Chains A and B, each alone.
Chain A
Amino acid sequence: MTTLSIVTKNLRKRLLATVLTTFSIALGAGLIIAILTIQSETEKSFNQTSVGYDLILAAKGSQLQTTLNTLYHIETSTGIVPYALYEATQKDPRVEYSFPFYVGDSYMQYRVIGTSAEYLEKASPRRGMSYAFREGRNFSTINEAVLGSMVADQTGFKVGDTFFFTHGVKMADGGAEEFVHEDHPVTIVGILEPTGTANDRVIFSAVQTTHLVHAPYQEPAASDDHDHSHDDEHDHSLDEVVVKNLDAVLVKYKSPASALQVAGMINYPVPANPVIANNLRRDPLFAYREGVMAVSPAVQIAQLMSIVGNIDWVLKVIAVLVVIVALFGILVAIYNTMEERKRDIAIMRSLGASRGRILRIIILEAAIICFQGSLFGLMLGWSATAAVAPYLITSAGIFIEPFTFSLNHALVLLILVGLGIIAGTIPALKAYRTDVAAHLSPTN
């Protein structure tokens, strides 16, 4: 027999009220935990997704849309840019590396990204991480593809399997149909290790492959007497495929100053100063600036986090309000029992229990309800986050690890227990002031 056993017995005696109050705390706590986890994981996902290139050169339009399209593989592109723009960046001495970027087809719900083989060799999906192969190798020629880890896991595809790109989306009302490129089977040559980014759920292939299914072949060289046509099943090399347009060019410059220079040249009007204007006209990319914009993905991500942060603040306020309501529930639930418990309290006082012990018993009851509610809320929050995680990856390209426990989570739980103690203090004070003599008789 201890003070704690008195408390647990009291809670069990009013089991329904205890369970309901615990559940209300759990709901509030779960909401806070879910918001906290999603917010921190989203921020981490945004921050950790590599912006290993300085600029995205894309058709004029929404810069955020372009960033989401290229980094997180959601949204559509803002339009097309000439393939020659990519070729110009390849020859630009200021450029460390550049990649073509083309999106058009898909397989099931997974996007096909047309790019160069160098993309998987040089780009970083996350800060400090390179692409690695779980199986197989990188694509090197036409009609080869590399799968992100999630694509392979969900489809069950293995290296050596073939599949077909699909163009368009089938509408339920029959207003549109998807088109399967059955004339161009694509062979899986590699499967990537998980990166924890949106790149896990895309399919990589040569940009020439993604164009081959739609565009005509390049005119053959004079010595080549092959008959090139769509009916020709002859294998083509990358050089033989005509690529005219891209959705974007991803560029990493050797110095930040070069990136700034190019962004300024593309995004801003040519200055009136003839000397500066002439210098600009000598820029290798000047000829392509019409209809093109240079996007700094790092800036766009920062702006996006700012927007998300505002929404996050509103959600947190809502969660806090839910918790406050739940804490009031504890206060009212325990307070309402004080009247019927006055005799029990008087009996304990008559046996020698001090007022302080009675106070501690009541406060401990509130603390235990809050503690149990918080733990239960932690599991609820984790479950809610786990339920939302697949939606976030498919709709926003954001990877979240649902079952995280950080210092912030611990602080939330501690604060909840602390607030529960405060809520329990009010009914505890009522118990503290119980008139012993008046309540020892059952008629009082």
Chain B
Amino acid sequence: MSFLSLSNIIKTYPDPEKGASKKVLDIPHLEVAKGEHIAIAGTSGGGKTTLLHCIAGIIRPDSGSIVLNGTDITQLSERKRDRFRANHIGYVYQTFNLIQGFTALENVMLGMLFSGKGVDRAKAEGLLVQMGLKDRLKYKPSQLSVGQQQRVSIARAVANDPDVILADEPTGNLDPASSEEALSLLKEVAKDKILLLVSHEKDVLSQFQRVVSLSEINKA
């Protein structure tokens, strides 16, 4: 039985040039087992980010269902989707998306704040130590290298023990060495979790046993 199941997902956006709606997603189905790591390959503008946003509950598809561990995310109210996302989904971004005014430690704790389970400072510190950032806890993102920023982002994504980690081009802004390191850390912390990683880099895609081409599953 699938842990994550997408069925008949349709998502459209207004097309300002044509004055009509443009279909971005049209996915009949996508099944992911628990603990499975999948790479989603696709070109820019193909709807990869939109797909991840739908799974994360950041946006709601126009129709269809997204069921994660028995919960249909599309049927939740926005507030419940927010709480569900905080507790069950971790997100790693290409541009890291760290809060500039907060330290590395505070960025990780911020991820815990909205789960409703309280902030565990020791756990946050432990995650950053695991990421090799023991001496960078009080550094702000502007004081970290891009590789270090991405590791903070990864630590934040797993801070609430999510079931699913979504990674949108996580190595897109990293040099090859940092990419390798970030990918390795990501796969390590995502053990026993679903990892959905979007990329167009062959080196990244080659490290996944299951690679799904977006153009194959998306009929839009």
Interchain CA distance A436-B115 in the complex, whole Å: 18
Q: How far is the CB of A345 from chain B (nearest CB, A)?
A: 10
Q: Which of B27-35, B83-91, B179-187 contacts A (4 or more CB under 8 A)?
A: B83-91
Tell me, yes or no, whether A88 is within 8 Å of chain B by CB. no
In contact, A1 and B82 (Cβ under 8 angstroms): no
Q: How far is the CB of A400 from chain B (nearest CB, A)?
A: 45
A-B complex: 3 closest residue pairs judged by Cβ atoms: A352-B86, A352-B114, A1-B109
In contact, A347 and B97 (Cβ under 8 angstroms): yes
Q: Mark A331-351, 1 if CB is under 8 A from B, else 0.
A: 000000000000110011111
Q: Which of B40-48, B68-76, B99-107, B127-135 contacts A (4 or more CB under 8 A)?
A: B99-107
Chain A residues within 8 Å of B, Cβ to Cβ: 1-3, 6, 9-10, 12-13, 343-344, 347-357, 436-437, 440-442
Q: Which of B52-60, B188-196, B208-216 contacts A (4 or more CB under 8 A)?
A: B52-60
Q: How far is the CB of B157 from chain A (nearest CB, A)?
A: 9
In contact, A1 and B113 (Cβ under 8 angstroms): yes
In contact, B110 and A354 (Cβ under 8 angstroms): no
In contact, B114 and A10 (Cβ under 8 angstroms): no
Tell me, yes or no, whether B78 is within 8 Å of chain A by CB. yes
In contact, A352 and B102 (Cβ under 8 angstroms): no
In contact, A350 and B113 (Cβ under 8 angstroms): no
Interchain CA distance A387-B50 in the complex, whole Å: 64
Tell me, yes or no, whether B119 is within 8 Å of chain A by CB. yes
Choose one: B85, B93, B95, B109; the contact of A352 (CB below 8 Å). Answer: B85
Tell me, yes or no, whether B198 is within 8 Å of chain A by CB. no
Interchain CA distance A1-B119 in the complex, whole Å: 7
Tell me, yes or no, whether B18 is within 8 Å of chain A by CB. no
Chain B residues within 8 Å of A, Cβ to Cβ: 49-50, 53, 56, 58-59, 78-79, 82-83, 85-87, 91, 93, 95, 97-102, 106, 109-115, 119, 121, 156
Interchain CA distance A354-B56 in the complex, whole Å: 14
In contact, A436 and B113 (Cβ under 8 angstroms): no
Q: Which residues of A contact B98 (CB under 8 A)?
A: 347
Least CB separation from B109: chain A residue: A1
Q: How far is the CB of A342 from chain B (nearest CB, A)?
A: 12
In contact, A348 and B114 (Cβ under 8 angstroms): yes
In contact, A436 and B58 (Cβ under 8 angstroms): yes
Q: How far is the CB of A294 from chain B (nearest CB, A)?
A: 74
Q: Which residues of B contact A355 (CB under 8 A)?
A: 78-79, 82
Q: How far is the CB of B179 from chain A (nearest CB, A)?
A: 19
Least CB separation from B94: chain A residue: A441
12 CB contacts below 8 A, A to B, read A10-B101, A344-B100, A347-B97, A348-B99, A348-B114, A349-B58, A351-B85, A351-B86, A353-B86, A355-B78, A437-B50, A437-B59
Q: Which residues of B contact A442 (CB under 8 A)?
A: 95
Tell me whether A350 and B109 are in contact in the complex, defined as CB-CB below 8 angstroms, given that A10-B101, A344-B99, A357-B114 are known contacts: no
Interchain CA distance A258-B80 in the complex, whole Å: 82
Q: How far is the CB of B104 from chain A (nearest CB, A)?
A: 13
Interchain CA distance A6-B115 in the complex, whole Å: 16
In contact, B113 and A354 (Cβ under 8 angstroms): no
In contact, A2 and B79 (Cβ under 8 angstroms): no
Q: Which residues of A contact B87 (CB under 8 A)?
A: 352
Q: Which residues of A contact B110 (CB under 8 A)?
A: 1, 6, 348, 351
In contact, A354 and B82 (Cβ under 8 angstroms): yes
In contact, A9 and B101 (Cβ under 8 angstroms): yes
- Of A348, A352, A440, chain B has the most CB atoms within 10 Å of the CB of A352
Least CB separation from A441: chain B residue: B95
In contact, B95 and A354 (Cβ under 8 angstroms): no
Least CB separation from B79: chain A residue: A354
Tell me whether A351 and B93 are in contact in the complex, defined as CB-CB below 8 angstroms, given that A1-B119, A13-B101, A437-B53 are known contacts: no
In contact, B114 and A351 (Cβ under 8 angstroms): yes
- Of B93, B110, B119, B156, chain A has the most CB atoms within 10 Å of the CB of B110
In contact, B83 and A352 (Cβ under 8 angstroms): yes
Interchain CA distance A351-B114 in the complex, whole Å: 7
Interchain CA distance A348-B89 in the complex, whole Å: 14
Q: Which residues of B contact A437 (CB under 8 A)?
A: 49-50, 53, 58-59
Q: How far is the CB of B59 from chain A (nearest CB, A)?
A: 5
Choose one: A6, A349, A351; the contact of B111 (CB below 8 Å). Answer: A351
In contact, B97 and A440 (Cβ under 8 angstroms): yes
Interchain CA distance A347-B101 in the complex, whole Å: 13
